[in-house]
Chain A
Amino acid sequence: MTATRASLSPEAQLLVLTAALPPSDTAMRRLLTAGIDWAKLCALAQHEKATSIVLRELWRLAPAASDAGTSELRQLATASVMQMLLLEQLLHQTLDVLAERGIAVMLLKGAALGYTAYPSFLDRPMGDLDILVPPHHAEQVWSLLQTRGWTWPSARWARQRYTAHQHLPPLLQGPGGGARLEIHGDLLPVGHPFRLSTAAVWARAKQVLLNGRALTVPHPLHQLWHVCVHFAWSHEMQWGTWRTLRDVAAIVERGDVDWAEFVTLARDTRAGTCCFWTVRLTRRLLGAEVPDRVLASLRPPRPEWLLERIERHYVSNLLPSQDGCPSVPLAHRLWEAGILPRWSKHGLARPWHVCDRWMTDNERHESERVRHRSLWAQLRRLGACVQYFRRITAFSNPLGAR
């Protein structure tokens, strides 16, 4: 067990292990034997949309195991698989509608990876469908699909909140609006600092055949690039962790990444540090075979002892945890310490600026109210930050597994 993974709770470790391809049966059995809080595992798996895969891996290890914990996991996993079955059908129906109109469509994120990096679409759980269309077609597609069973809950996702976003307001379909579709005109929101144009992604897109249907997906390099940037920049390494690690591991396992070209792409597009941290974390936590030379080429110009400590912060915040950073401003500074936006030529662009654009007036007011806490609350927060900082910077392994 790596020291990095040992800093996670047993439930988080088990969850992370199920993302490996293949998972380590020995490590998982060790954790199960030592005892797992099933409620925590279920909550984490649900949060990460990993329930069906976690259940599959645990069942593979111990088919006869049955208790309240696995029962709850099975219920959650069943619901997840039901949604995935629906999503796949709706995806194909949507592709048919757009093909009738001669509108080019590229699958993004989970939808693309499900058909290229995993045995099947169902092997890559996702919360929604992401498709990319030429920007000048985005509005047309969005309107057209609303005449084909998709609905736009305008009160929930106001149109004006998406003017600078990479996709239009999500559309819903299915029982209880269970299926969600995001129509992208771009990969990243307005204001991002990267130098990869959507036109370049279209230019190198590939076609894959599925049951006689041609699907357009990003080039493997762009798939990996997008996974890294989406995780490390858009989500600040605090959301979608399990799927990200698994996606990187799956792409690496697929074996079609030209690593030299990937390094060049990452550097040239100012995504070097984002790619570095995503692949480094995948290697450290899952044992993915990322070549040393790739990490060496992408690493920020900082000593390894500092990178180790920054990594501890990132790992502490990959999943919901009581050990996470107690302060948003501190988390931003530590994110910057690893991503080095100025060194990476990101200028003033920061992912939280995108989040700020999202806020409604009420949310902004609440955020301002939280900043103006009582002096006592501020002192308590300061104390928690000092404790957290000491924990991640200590020269011994600071976080023991609970």
Chain B
Amino acid sequence: MAFLPNATRAIATSSVVAAATDQVSADLAGEAIVLSLRTAMYYGLDQVGARIWELVREPTRVADVRDAIAREYDVDLERCERDVLELLHQLATHGLIEVRDGGEAAR
């Protein structure tokens, strides 16, 4: 199954996401900088965003990203899911990640 860039498709916890191929990134003291090769735009991610970015370098289920962040930052699972989905949606909107529909609609 191929990954498709999809800015408008809802991302569900069952979705699988991965960093897009047409970008390059670098870590910088706990944060991340991403350069979209398609748009030549730069994006900065704070510490948590950078950790999420690290987790999605390889195809990963959104639920696994959520669980990792909730565990590492000791945050409420529901809130964590909301924030993770929000960030992933933004990344997808800007073409920085690709989404494979897992079939379950986001809450």
Q: When the two chains form the complex, which single residue of B26, B37, B40 contacts A84, counting CB atoms closer than 8 Å?
A: B26
Q: How far is the CA of A86 from the CA of B44 in the complex (A)?
A: 15
Asked if A9 lies at the interface with its beta carbon under 8 angstroms from chain B, I say no
Which residues of chain A come closer than 8 Å to B42, judged between CB atoms? 82, 85
Stretch at the interface among A55-63, A225-233, A252-260: A55-63
Q: Mark A26-69, 1 if CB is under 8 A from B, else 0.
A: 00000000000000000000000000100110111001000000
Stretch at the interface among A17-25, A73-81, A282-290: A73-81
Cβ of B40 and Cβ of A88 under 8 Å apart? no
Asked if B87 lies at the interface with its beta carbon under 8 angstroms from chain A, I say no
Chain B interface size, under 10 / 10 to 19 / 20 to 34 / 35 or more:
10 to 19
Asked if A175 lies at the interface with its beta carbon under 8 angstroms from chain B, I say yes
Q: How far is the CA of A44 from the CA of B26 in the complex (A)?
A: 23
Which residues of chain A come closer than 8 Å to B28, judged between CB atoms? 52, 55-56, 74, 77-78, 81
Asked if B2 lies at the interface with its beta carbon under 8 angstroms from chain A, I say no
Cβ of B33 and Cβ of A59 under 8 Å apart? no
Q: How far is the CA of A77 from the CA of B26 in the complex (A)?
A: 12
Cβ of B33 and Cβ of A78 under 8 Å apart? yes
Q: How far is the CA of A82 from the CA of B37 in the complex (A)?
A: 12
Q: How far is the CA of A92 from the CA of B15 in the complex (A)?
A: 34
CB distance from A83 to the nearest CB of B (A): 10
Q: Which residue among A60, A74, A77, A85 has the maximum number of chain B CB atoms within 10 Å of its CB?
A: A85
Dominant secondary structure at the A interface: helix
Identity of the chain A residue whose Cβ is nearest the Cβ of B37 in the assembled complex: A89
Q: Which residue among B35, B40, B44 has the maximum number of chain A CB atoms within 10 Å of its CB?
A: B35
Which residues of chain B come closer than 8 Å to A58, judged between CB atoms? 29
Cβ of A175 and Cβ of B33 under 8 Å apart? no
Q: When the two chains form the complex, which single residue of B29, B30, B31, B33 contacts A85, counting CB atoms closer than 8 Å?
A: B33
Which residues of chain A come closer than 8 Å to B35, judged between CB atoms? 82, 85-86, 89
Q: How far is the CA of A245 from the CA of B35 in the complex (A)?
A: 30
Asked if A113 lies at the interface with its beta carbon under 8 angstroms from chain B, I say no
Q: How far is the CA of A74 from the CA of B47 in the complex (A)?
A: 13
Q: How far is the CA of A55 from the CA of B30 in the complex (A)?
A: 10
Q: How far is the CA of A84 from the CA of B42 in the complex (A)?
A: 12
Asked if A122 lies at the interface with its beta carbon under 8 angstroms from chain B, I say yes
Identity of the chain B residue whose Cβ is nearest the Cβ of A56 in the assembled complex: B29
Query: Which residues in chain B, 32-59, are within 8 Å of chain A measured between CB atoms?
Result: 33, 35, 37, 40, 42, 44
Cβ of B26 and Cβ of A63 under 8 Å apart? no
Which residues of chain A come closer than 8 Å to B105, judged between CB atoms? none
CB distance from B30 to the nearest CB of A (A): 6
Decide: A88 near B24, CB < 8 A? Known: A78-B44, A82-B42, A175-B40.
yes
Q: How far is the CA of A81 from the CA of B37 in the complex (A)?
A: 15
Which residues of chain A come closer than 8 Å to B31, judged between CB atoms? 74, 78
Which residues of chain A come closer than 8 Å to B29, judged between CB atoms? 55-56, 58-60, 63, 74, 77
CB distance from A212 to the nearest CB of B (A): 15
Q: How far is the CA of A122 from the CA of B29 in the complex (A)?
A: 13
Cβ of A85 and Cβ of B26 under 8 Å apart? yes
Which residues of chain B come closer than 8 Å to A88, judged between CB atoms? 24
Which residues of chain B come closer than 8 Å to A59, judged between CB atoms? 29-30
Identity of the chain B residue whose Cβ is nearest the Cβ of A73 in the assembled complex: B29
Q: Which residue among B24, B28, B40, B44 has the maximum number of chain A CB atoms within 10 Å of its CB?
A: B28
Q: How far is the CA of A60 from the CA of B40 in the complex (A)?
A: 30
Q: Which residue among A56, A60, A78, A88 has the maximum number of chain B CB atoms within 10 Å of its CB?
A: A78
Q: How far is the CA of A58 from the CA of B26 in the complex (A)?
A: 17
Cβ of B30 and Cβ of A81 under 8 Å apart? no
Which residues of chain B come closer than 8 Å to A82, judged between CB atoms? 33, 35, 42
Which residues of chain A come closer than 8 Å to B25, judged between CB atoms? 85
Q: How far is the CA of A77 from the CA of B40 in the complex (A)?
A: 19
Which residues of chain B come closer than 8 Å to A60, judged between CB atoms? 29
Q: Which residue among B25, B29, B33 has the maximum number of chain A CB atoms within 10 Å of its CB?
A: B29
Q: Mark B3-30, 1 if CB is under 8 A from A, else 0.
A: 0000000000000000000001110111
Interface of A toward B, CB cutoff 8 Å: 52, 55-56, 58-60, 63, 74, 77-78, 81-82, 84-86, 88-89, 122, 174-175
9 of the cross-chain contacts (CB-CB < 8 Å) are: A52-B28, A74-B28, A74-B31, A78-B31, A85-B33, A89-B24, A89-B35, A89-B37, A174-B40
Listed from nearest, the 9 A-B pairs whose CB atoms lie closest are A59-B29, A85-B35, A55-B29, A82-B42, A81-B26, A81-B33, A81-B28, A122-B26, A85-B24
